[in-house]
Amino acid sequence: MIPRHLVIAMSVLLLAALGLSVYAWHMRKTVAATPVASTDTRLLAPPFAGPTERVTLYVAHDDDGSLRAESALIPLPSGRQQRAEELLRALLSLYLDKSSPHALGSGADIRSVFLVDPGVAVIDLNSAFADTHRSGVLVEDLTVTSLIHTISANTPGILKVKILVDGKERDTLAGHADLSDFYDVTAVNQLATQLQPGQ
Amino acid sequence: MRWTSDLRSVGVRPAFPRTSRPPVLTIGGLILICAILLSGAPAEKHLAVYSVAANYSVQLVQREGRPYVGLLELLEPLGKVSAKTENKSWRLRYNNVEGDFQVGKTHARVQGRDADLIGKFFVENNRGLVPLGSLASLLPRFLGGPVTLHEESGRLFIGSVATHFTASLSADNPPRLVFHFTAPVNPTIATELGALRMTFSREPLVAPASPTLTFGNKAIPSAIYSESNGAAVVTVNASIPVMATFSSDGRTVTISSNSPSAAAQTATQNAVPAAPGTPASPGQPAPAPSSSNAPPPAAPVSRRYFAVVDASHGGDDHGETLSNTLLEKDVTVALARSLRQELESRGIPTLVLRDSDANLSVDQRAIFANADHAAIYIAVHAASNGHGVRVYTALLPFGGDDRATFRSWTTAQHAALPLSKSIAAAVAAEFQRRQIPVRTLTAPLRPLNNVTGAAIAVEVAPQGSDSSQLTAPDYQQLVTSAVATAIAATRDQLGAAQ
Domains of chain B: 46-158 (3.30.457.10), 165-288 (2.60.40), 307-497 (3.40.630.40)
B321/A contact by beta carbon, under 8 A? yes
**Which residues does chain B have within 8 Å of residue A137's beta carbon, measured at their own beta carbons?**
381, 383, 390, 392, 443, 445, 457, 459
The closest alpha carbon to B138, from B84, B171, B101, belongs to B101
The predicted pLDDT at position B371 comes to 82
User: B489-493 — which CB contacts under 8 Å span 24+ positions?
Assistant: B489/B426, B489/B430, B490/B422, B490/B423, B490/B426, B491/B306, B491/B348, B491/B375, B493/B419, B493/B422, B493/B423
Contact A176 B381 (CB under 8 A): yes
- Residue B89 pairs with which residues in a beta bridge? B86, B102
- Residue B117 pairs with which residues in a beta bridge? none
The rounded distance, in Å, linking the Cα atoms of B102 and A173 is 46
Reply yes or no on whether the pLDDT at B102 is more than 50: yes
Report the SS3 class of residue B230.
coil
Q: What is the DSSP letter of A168?
A: B
**B177 versus B44: which is more confidently predicted?**
B177
Q: Distances from the Cα of B451 to the Cαs of B378, B408, B415, in angstroms? A: 10, 11, 10
Least confident piece of the model among A36-50, B41-55, B94-108, B305-319? A36-50
**Which residues does chain B have within 8 Å of residue A183's beta carbon, measured at their own beta carbons?**
444
**Which residues does chain A have within 8 Å of residue B442's beta carbon, measured at their own beta carbons?**
187, 190-191, 194
Q: How confident is the model at residue B215 (pLDDT cuts 50, 70, 90)?
A: confident
Of B395, B439, B459, which has the smallest distance from its Cβ to A187's Cβ?
B395
Q: How far is B328 from chain A (nearest CA, A)?
A: 9
The rounded distance, in Å, linking the Cα atoms of A50 and B175 is 93
Distance of CA A199 to the CA centre of its chain: 30
What pLDDT digit, counting tens, does each position of A175-187 carry?
A: 999 999 999 999 9
Contact B395 A188 (CB under 8 A): yes
B386/A contact by beta carbon, under 8 A? yes
The predicted pLDDT at position B262 comes to 42
Report the SS3 class of residue A177.
strand
Give residues with Cβ within 8 angstroms of A142, minimum separation 6: A60, A62, A65, A67, A102, A195
- Residue B62 pairs with which residues in a beta bridge? B67
The closest alpha carbon to B330, from B108, B81, B120, belongs to B81
Mean of per-residue pLDDT scores for chain B? 79
What is the ipTM, given to two decimal places? 0.75
Q: How far is B73 from chain A (nearest CA, A)?
A: 27
What pLDDT digit, counting tens, does each position of B424-440 carry?
A: 999 999 999 999 999 99
Least confident piece of the model among A57-61, B8-12, B453-457? B8-12
Of B384, B396, B445, which has the smallest distance from its Cβ to A187's Cβ?
B396
Q: How confident is the model at residue A158 (pLDDT cuts 50, 70, 90)?
A: very high
The predicted pLDDT at position B424 comes to 96
Least confident piece of the model among B46-55, B341-350, B393-402? B393-402
**A197 versus A14: which is more confidently predicted?**
A14
The predicted pLDDT at position B190 comes to 83
The rounded distance, in Å, linking the Cα atoms of B249 and B488 is 10
The predicted pLDDT at position B18 comes to 43
Report the SS3 class of residue B223.
strand
Q: DSSP string of B258-292?
A: -SHHHHHHHHTTT--PPPTTSBPPTT--EEE--SS
What pLDDT digit, counting tens, does each position of B254-312 carry?
A: 888 765 444 334 333 333 333 333 333 433 334 333 333 333 333 333 456 889 999 99
- Suggest the residue from A135, A169, A181 to mutate for an interface test with chain B (most B CBs closer than 10 A): A135
Q: DSSP string of B348-367?
A: --EEES--SS----HHHHHH
Q: DSSP string of B286-348?
A: EEE--SSSPPPPPPPPPP--SEEEEE--BTTB---EEETTEEHHHHHHHHHHHHHHHHHHTT-
Contact B442 A187 (CB under 8 A): yes
Report the SS3 class of residue A72.
strand
B320/A contact by beta carbon, under 8 A? yes
The closest alpha carbon to B287, from B221, B372, B189, B420, belongs to B189
The predicted pLDDT at position B202 comes to 84
The whole-number average pLDDT for the span A19-42 is 74
Of B385, B398, B441, which has the smallest distance from its Cβ to A184's Cβ?
B398
Q: How confident is the model at residue B233 (pLDDT cuts 50, 70, 90)?
A: very high
Reply yes or no on whether the pLDDT at B354 is more than 90: no
**Which residues does chain B have within 8 Å of residue A191's beta carbon, measured at their own beta carbons?**
395, 441-443
The whole-number average pLDDT for the span B453-461 is 95
Report the SS3 class of residue A58.
strand
The predicted pLDDT at position B27 comes to 59
The predicted pLDDT at position A165 comes to 95
The rounded distance, in Å, linking the Cα atoms of B159 and B494 is 34
Task: Name the amino acid, one letter, at B273.
Answer: P
Mean of per-residue pLDDT scores for chain A? 88
Contact A175 B384 (CB under 8 A): no
Reply yes or no on whether the pLDDT at A148 is more than 90: yes
**Which residues does chain B have within 8 Å of residue A186's beta carbon, measured at their own beta carbons?**
397-398
Contact B386 A176 (CB under 8 A): no
The whole-number average pLDDT for the span B30-35 is 54
> B397: nearest CA in chain A?
A184
Q: How far is A168 from chain B (nearest CA, A)?
A: 19
Reply yes or no on whether the pLDDT at B28 is more than 70: no
Within a 10 A sphere around the Cβ of A24, how many other Cβ atoms? Answer: 10
**Phi, psi values for residue B493, rounded to 5°:** -60, -45
**B67 versus A35: which is more confidently predicted?**
B67
Of A175, A178, A194, which has the smallest distance from its Cβ to B444's Cβ?
A178
Contact B174, B218 (CB under 8 A): no
Q: Using only the alpha carbons of chain A, give its radius of gyration.
A: 25
The predicted pLDDT at position B334 comes to 92
What pLDDT digit, counting tens, does each position of A90-111 carry?
A: 999 999 988 899 999 989 999 9
The rounded distance, in Å, linking the Cα atoms of A82 and B462 is 42
The rounded distance, in Å, linking the Cα atoms of B187 and B328 is 33
Reply yes or no on whether the pLDDT at A44 is more than 70: no
Give residues with Cβ within 8 angstroms of B50, minimum separation 6: B155, B156, B157, B158, B161, B162, B204
The whole-number average pLDDT for the span A80-85 is 89
The rounded distance, in Å, linking the Cα atoms of A150 and A153 is 5
Q: How confident is the model at residue B218 (pLDDT cuts 50, 70, 90)?
A: confident
Q: How far is B403 from chain A (nearest CA, A)?
A: 18
The predicted pLDDT at position A135 comes to 94
What pLDDT digit, counting tens, does each position of A107-134 carry?
A: 999 999 999 878 899 999 999 999 999 9
